[in-house]
Amino acid sequence: MDPERSFWGRCNAVSILEVKSKKSQIKGMLMLLEGKKHQDERGIITYNNDFDASQIKRIYTIENASTEFIRGWQGHKVEQRWFATMKGSFEIFVIRVDDFENPSKDLTIKKYLLTEEVLSYLHIPSGCITAIQSKEEDSKLLVLADYDLGEITDEYRFSLDYFNNI
């Protein structure tokens, strides 16, 4: 089976770019590194043995004010990010931008759902923007980035209604 086809067939909402993994290394496409869960009499462990954190320079969390609020559109030409849900669930919309100075309004929007059930990472590659909506109250999203805050000038924002198809 074609790996790209099987990936897109399994996903219904996730993020993008270069991911280093023991099992896969795919550039320029959305990547979901699926986590796992183990439960026994001692409790539960959620884990992701395929995620390579060697590129990470910054870690922060996002907690939206309400489930109605959508945080976006925001992204980077150079920086890449990885998202994982710590609590609750998030719907993440991703666009690969064609021109950061004047993007087309009808770009394809990919939609992904991340939950706390397993430690899955959605990779957002360089050149992508995101809009993020919590689907449950008090949800918390872990964000990892490959540049320190202020290391480069690379933040782009667009109004939520700029693109035609969210």
Classify residue 139: in a domain, yes or no: yes
Would the pLDDT of 24 be above 50?
no
pTM equals: 0.80
Distance CA 27, CA 79 (A): 14
Residue 166 forms part of a structural domain: no
Residue 165 forms part of a structural domain: no
pLDDT band at 18 (very low <50, low <70, confident <90, very high): very low
Query: What would the mean pLDDT of 46-55 be, rounded to a whole number?
Result: 93
Between 87 and 31, name the one with better pLDDT.
87
Instruction: Note whether residue 120 is domain-resident.
Output: yes
**Residue 138: DSSP 8-state:** T
Q: Is the pLDDT of residue 146 over 80?
A: yes
Domain-located, residue 28:
yes
Mean per-residue pLDDT of the chain:
85
pLDDT at 155 over 70: yes
pLDDT at 37: 95
DSSP string over 1-64: --HHHHHHHH-SS--BS----SS----SSBEEE--EEEEETTEEEEE-TT--GGG--EEEEE--
Q: CATH number of the domain at 53, please.
A: 2.60.120.10
Per the structure, the count of domains in the chain is: 1
Quick one: tokens of 24? 């896969």
Say if CB 15 and CB 75 are below 8 A apart.
no
As a whole number of angstroms, the distance between CA 152 and CA 154 comes to 6
With a pLDDT cut of 70, the percent of the chain lying above it is 81
Out of 29-43, 90-104, 146-160, which region has the weakest mean confidence (pLDDT)?
A: 29-43
Task: Flag whether 163 is in a domain.
Answer: no
pLDDT of 137 over the 80 cut: yes
pLDDT category at 29 given cuts 50, 70, 90 is low
More confident residue, 17 or 52: 52
Pick 64 or 11 by higher pLDDT. Answer: 64
Instruction: Give the whole-angstrom CA distance, residue 107 versus residue 2.
Output: 25
88 secondary structure, DSSP code: S
Could you tell me if residue 101 is inside a domain?
Answer: yes
Residues 19-37, mean pLDDT to the nearest whole number: 59
Structural domain containing residue 79: 3-157
**In-domain check, residue 162:** no
Q: Which residues contact 153 (CB under 8 A, 6 or more apart)?
A: none
